[in-house]
Amino acid sequence: MQTHKHKAAKIVVVGSVNMDLLFKTPRMPAPGETLMGQSFHQIHGGKGANQAVAAARLGGEVSLIACVGQDDFGRSSVAALQADGIDTQLVRQVSNCATGVAGILLDDSGENSIVLAAGANAEVQSTDIDAGKTIMSGAQFLVCQLETPMASVAYAIQQAKTLGLQVILNPAPMQDIATDLLNQVDFLVLNETETQQMTGMSVENAESAVAAAQVLRQRGVGTVIVTLGAAGVVVVTAEGSMTMPAYKVEVLDTTAAGDTFVGALAVALGEGEGLQKACDFAQRAAAIAVTQLGAQTSIPHRSLVESHFH
Ligand code: ATP
């Protein structure tokens, strides 16, 4: 993929905005234990915001539909999104409500444990989606995750299909998804844990991921992409399946790897790339993200992705 060869992909993201409070720790504390951490970082995150940032840094024209609180975290999150060129006119500031926060522990092995307080993310409503209909009608892709209420996500997907958009759903954190909603999803992008949760099947390798993805396709999803961390991705479509290994990098922190993958995928598909090339671009971007600490601090710009892995 070359810069500026194609028209920019037009993408609407419906999703969460969080402030990530990240503690580096030598190991995870046991219940009841107090442990000295090594460092603390306050980093912009939230799956919706991360995916919007990834799509924008990688060349997309991006609008975000989301809610934040009227607090410092909310104001600085919106400023950061705007600095990345994201249209935030549909990011609503909710009074008497805190911006979403994620408490993250990251240990020396790269493992993380996360607690989320949804805050304003729980306030995203169908009226927020209705306010975005004009913007949606000019877009190619709707990108959603599940850190905002399921009813709003379902409504957004339904509206997007009516307006002729393609839908990418990243069902994280996993919740039950109605079959008639899955029927409207063009690209379901999920990791191995979410795949196991959705199918009840064990996913340990590419072969078992393909089998589980086929089950999800039978529930009505167009294309299923299972991300397998350092083992890459499997892609299952009506035509068959393909397995693509990940790029080899030195891992520092995998936070936002999946979000970078999703944002990059939307950009490449929106520019008219085929599925294999789009997944390759997404894996390049995600591999760079795992070499850096934090969520939005780790998401690469397009020039960096294009100059890597030749
Ligand atoms: P997260 O929740 O940490 O954002 P995830 O669990 O949703 O991530 P993963 O399957 O871990 O998603 O990673 C998404 C993609 O990122 C992988 O398919 C791969 O392309 C890339 N990736 C993740 N980990 C690595 C790694 N260790 N080395 C290279 N690429 C990686």
**Does the pLDDT at position 3 exceed 90?**
no
Please tell me the residue having the least CA distance from ligand 1 atom 9: 229
For residue 191 and ligand 1, the question of a CB distance below 6 A is answered with yes
pLDDT tens, 123-150? 999 999 999 999 999 999 999 999 999 9
**Domain boundaries in the chain?**
7-27+39-303
Q: How many other CB atoms are there within 10 angstroms of residue 39's CB atom? A: 10
What would the two tokens of residue 158 be? 């339904």
Q: How far is the CA of 53 from the centre of ligand 1 (A)?
A: 17
Please tell me the residue having the least CA distance from ligand 1 atom 13: 229
Interface TM-score (ipTM) > 0.90:
yes
Looking at residue 34, what is its pLDDT?
Answer: 96
pLDDT tens, 235-290? 999 999 999 999 999 998 888 999 999 999 999 999 999 999 999 999 999 999 99
Looking at residue 2, what is its pLDDT?
Answer: 54
* CA neighbours closer than 13 Å in the CB half-sphere of residue 268: 24
Is domain 7-27+39-303 in CATH 3.40.605.10, yes or no? no
pLDDT tens, 103-116? 999 999 878 899 99
The sign one gets for the Cα dihedral 27, 293, 275, 267 is positive
Mean of pLDDT values over 18-42: 96
For residue 101 and ligand 1, the question of a CB distance below 6 A is answered with no
Looking at residue 158, what is its pLDDT?
Answer: 98
CA dihedral (280, 282, 285, 286) in degrees, to 10, reads: -110
For residue 102 and ligand 1, the question of a CB distance below 6 A is answered with no
Ligand 1, residue 112: give the atom nearest the CA: 3
Let me know: does 141 contact 11? Beta carbons within 8 Å.
yes
Whole-number mean pLDDT of the chain? 96
Give the rounded percent of residues in the chain with a pLDDT score beyond 70.
98
Please state the three-class secondary structure of 169-228 as a single string. Answer: EECCCCCCCCHHHHCCCCEEEEEHHHHHHHHCCCCCCHHHHHHHHHHHHHCCCCEEEEEC
**Encoded amino acid at 123, one letter:** E
- Of the chain, the end-to-end C-alpha distance in Å amounts to 12
To test the pocket of ligand 1, the residue of 105, 116, 225, 254 to mutate (highest count of ligand atoms within 8 Å of its CB) is 254
For residue 286 and ligand 1, the question of a CB distance below 6 A is answered with yes
Q: How far is the CA of 172 from the centre of ligand 1 (A)?
A: 14
Burial of 48 (0-12, 13-18, 19+ CB in 10 A): buried
For residue 298 and ligand 1, the question of a CB distance below 6 A is answered with no
Within its chain, how far is the Cα of 143 from the centroid? 8
For residue 233 and ligand 1, the question of a CB distance below 6 A is answered with yes
Q: How far is the CA of 187 from the centre of ligand 1 (A)?
A: 17
CA dihedral (149, 154, 155, 159) in degrees, to 10, reads: 140
Catalytic residues: 259
Within its chain, how far is the Cα of 155 from the centroid? 19
Q: What element of type H or E holds 286? A: helix 275-289
pTM above 0.80, yes or no: yes
Let me know: does 99 contact 117? Beta carbons within 8 Å.
no
Let me know: does 282 contact 76? Beta carbons within 8 Å.
no
103 known ligand binder: no
